[in-house]
Amino acid sequence: LLASLDRPSSGEIRIHGYDTVRRARAVRDRIGYVSEEPMLYDGLTTEQYLQFVGRARGLGKQVRQVAVDTLLQVVGLDDQSWRDVASLSPGQRRRLALAAALVHEPDVLLLDDPLRALDGFARLEQIEVLRELHRLGSTMIVAGTRPEDLLEFCDSVSVLRGGSLVWSGDSADAAALAAPQTADAVRVRIEFLDGVDAAQALLGQRRDVRELELDEDEQTMWFLFSGDREALANLLPQFVRAGCSVAHFGIERRSPAAALSRMFHAEAGQPGAVR
C-alpha cells in the first residue's frame, strides 16, 4: 500500500502530501522500495545493475556514476563491483537491492523484512548497513516480524496484529515495557517443569496478580505482582503445595524485543496472551 502497488480498501495514504492512488507516479519518484524477496537481473555485474537502475530512474551519466560508486561503498560491495549478480550470496543480494532503492535519493525508504532468512555474519552486515543509513539521516519504514531486529536501527516501533494497531512508541517506550517494575508492582517470571494449570488457577484467585502471561513454550509464566515482599515469598511454597514443579522463580527484566514480541503474537486464549 505504501509503495502504491495496491489500493487501500478504505481511507487514504499520503507520502509527502501525495495520495498513493491518485498521484502514484509522484509517490514512486519519492520512495525507494525493497521487497521481502527482491528480484535482481542476473547476467550483469553489481555495478552494471546499479547503472541500469540509475538510467531507468533518469539520472545523467555523471550523477549516476557518483551515486553508484557511493552506494557500493555504503552497502559494502565496493570490492564486488565486478561480480555477476548471479554469484552473490543472499546477504549480498539484499544489500545490492538496498543500493538500487537508494540510487535516486528517495525521501522515504520502504523495507519489507530486510533481515529475512539472513543468519550469522550476513545478518550482522545487513544490520550495520541499515544503521549506517540511519546515521546518514535516511527515513526508513521497515516491516518485520522480529522486534529484536527492528530495535537495532529504528527510532520508533508500531505493533500491528490482525490489521489493528495495538501499540506504538519510540525505543525508550519499548524499554519501559520491559522494566522489572511499575509504580505499584513488580514483574515476576516463573518457569515450571509441571503444574502450569494448577499455578494459573492459584494465581487467578489473587487480587495482587494481574497481566498474567504464558510464554510460547507453555512452561514460562510472567505476571505483575502488587503484594508485599512477604506475600511474594509465600507464593513459592503455595505452588509446591498445589503440586507444581518450579524450575525458576524471581523478579526479572524482559528485553524490549521480548516484550514487543509477546504483544505481537498474543491472542486471547493462546500462549503469550495478556489475561
Provide the pairing of β-strand 186-194 with 245-251: antiparallel
What is the C-alpha separation between 30 and 4, in angstroms, rounded? 11
pLDDT at 61: 95
What mean pLDDT is reported for the chain? 85
Q: Mean pLDDT check: name the lowest of 84-93, 136-145, 172-181.
A: 172-181
Digit-coded pLDDT (tens) for 141-178: 999 877 777 777 888 888 887 778 888 888 767 766 65
Residue-wise DSSP of 113-127: STTTT--HHHHHHHH
How do residues 187-220 score in pLDDT, each as one tens digit?
888 999 999 999 999 999 999 998 888 887 788 9
Q: What is the mean pLDDT of the segment spanning 110-127? A: 86
Residue 201 Rama label (left phi>0; alpha psi -120 to 50; beta): alpha
Domains of the chain, with CATH numbers? Answer: 14-144 (3.40.50.300), 180-252 (3.30.70.100)
- The pTM of this model reads 0.67
259: confidence class by pLDDT, cuts 50, 70, 90:
low
Task: Tell me the mean pLDDT in the region 37-51.
Answer: 95
